[in-house]
Amino acid sequence: MVDVSALGDAILKGERAALARAITLAESRRADHREQARALIQHLLPQTGKAIRVGITGVPGVGKSTTIDALGTYLTGLGHKVAVLAVDPSSSRSGGSILGDKTRMARLAVDPKAYIRPSPSSGTLGGVAAKTRETMLLCEAAGFDVILVETVGVGQSETAVADLTDFFLVLMLPNAGDELQGIKKGIIELADMIAVNKADGEGATAARAAAAQYQAALHILAPTSMIWSTPVVTISGLTGAGLDMLWAKIEEHRSRFEAKGLIAERRRRQDVKWMWAMLEDRLQARLRHDPALKARIPALEAAVGAGEMAPTAAADEIARALGL
């Protein structure tokens, strides 16, 4: 049994081992561990929420890890404490997470002011994102004031990460011709900023051309906001060029939105979404794991499928079994 208040105090003091232990509890498959993690997070809740939460996405190879390493190092140099988390719903299948190779984050991995945590490996995107959200809160309690959440463009993971963060950064490759084809309208709408990476050496000219094209595409696709129009910048994660400008933009967004209370509003909206997402996850888990239901559902499904039972009647029976 974990002493929640002792563990909480150790986290608030910034003890790494305590933070790692708490995150392990939150990620555990055991219900009693997760219950303890929840109690701990509830206990620490007043000390959370003070970080800038930034989501970062882009196709594999665009340079997310390289950029996070450079950006994170730049930020710890400014005195920030930086936590790097990941949402990678494929990690349980592939056996490795997108943060698995710390070689791409060689500087940050040994930086005492940074903390890198790979994606939890669990079945559902909802489950992975919920755990990452708890990890984020624990990192905030431990004093990390910048949270970078990396995700790859698979399924709905971008939406999940946008729902975790205050600012959503989309990295793009310079060869815009192909890339523009691949732009999903939804991603552009989620983006608070687009950064064309690899704007160095031979790639610099192509990156600038791509940025101009994305800028034009944004005029057509992006929703207009009174206080923010999605900037398009060029960066090099490799050389670090443009990362100071990129961070300045993120801070500008932060101060503009904060002044109007819009960061707090975005987070409250996210919290309500999370409440429902977690409830749906638990209902789904009940549906899948309740022994009586598990035994009964195939027969109900078959009966409805064969036209022998009305869908309403079957839904009623399942709802009754769930106590609804």
Task: Give contact residues for Mg ion (rule: CB under 5 A).
Answer: 64-65, 98
The residue with its CB nearest to Mg ion is 65
* Binding to ligand GDP, residues 87-106 (CB under 6 A): 104
Residue 60 binding target from ligand GDP, Mg ion, none, CB below 5 to 8 Å by type? ligand GDP
| C-alpha–C-alpha distance, residues 214 and 192, integer Å | 13
Stretch that binds ligand GDP, among 55-63, 76-84, 250-258, 305-313 (CB under 6 A): 55-63
CB 297 within 8 A of CB 287: yes
Residue 60 in the binding site for ligand GDP (CB under 6 A) = yes
Answer for which of 11, 51, 52, 66 binds ligand GDP (CB under 6 A) is 66
Residue 55 in the binding site for ligand GDP (CB under 6 A) = no
* Binding to ligand GDP, residues 102-131 (CB under 6 A): 104
Q: Which of 64/81 has CB closer to Mg ion?
A: 64
DSSP for residue 118 = P
Residue 63 in the binding site for ligand GDP (CB under 6 A) = yes
Q: Which of 60/77 has CB closer to ligand GDP?
A: 60
Polymer length of the chain = 324
Q: Which of 165/197 has CB closer to ligand GDP?
A: 197
| C-alpha–C-alpha distance, residues 304 and 190, integer Å | 39
| C-alpha–C-alpha distance, residues 3 and 26, integer Å | 15
Which residues in 203-220 are b (16+ Cβ under 10 Å) and which e?
A: beebbeebbebbeebbee
Half-sphere exposure of 234 (CA within 13 A, CB side): 20
| C-alpha–C-alpha distance, residues 52 and 245, integer Å | 16
With CA atoms as reference, report the closest residue to 162 among 275, 278, 53, 27: 53
**SS3 readout for 206-264:** HHHHHHHHHHHHHHHHCCCCCCCCCCEEECCCCCCCCHHHHHHHHHHHHHHHHHCCHHH
Stretch that binds ligand GDP, among 75-83, 112-120, 155-163, 231-239 (CB under 6 A): 231-239
φ/ψ of 31, rounded to 5, equals -60, -40
Answer for which of 200, 234, 270, 277 binds ligand GDP (CB under 6 A) is 200
Write down the least CB distance from residue 122 to ligand GDP, Å.
Answer: 21
Residue 198 in the binding site for ligand GDP (CB under 6 A) = yes
Write down the least CB distance from residue 156 to Mg ion, Å.
Answer: 19
Residue 194's DSSP bridge partners are 170, 232
Write down the least CB distance from residue 204 to Mg ion, Å.
Answer: 22
Write down the least CB distance from residue 81 to ligand GDP, Å.
Answer: 22
Residue 177 in the binding site for ligand GDP (CB under 6 A) = no
> Quick count: other Cβ atoms within 10 Å of Cβ 111?
19
Answer for which of 65, 132, 135, 157 binds ligand GDP (CB under 6 A) is 65
Write down the least CB distance from residue 107 to Mg ion, Å.
Answer: 15
Write down the least CB distance from residue 101 to Mg ion, Å.
Answer: 7
Binding site for ligand GDP (CB under 6 A): 58, 60-66, 104, 197-198, 200, 203, 236-238
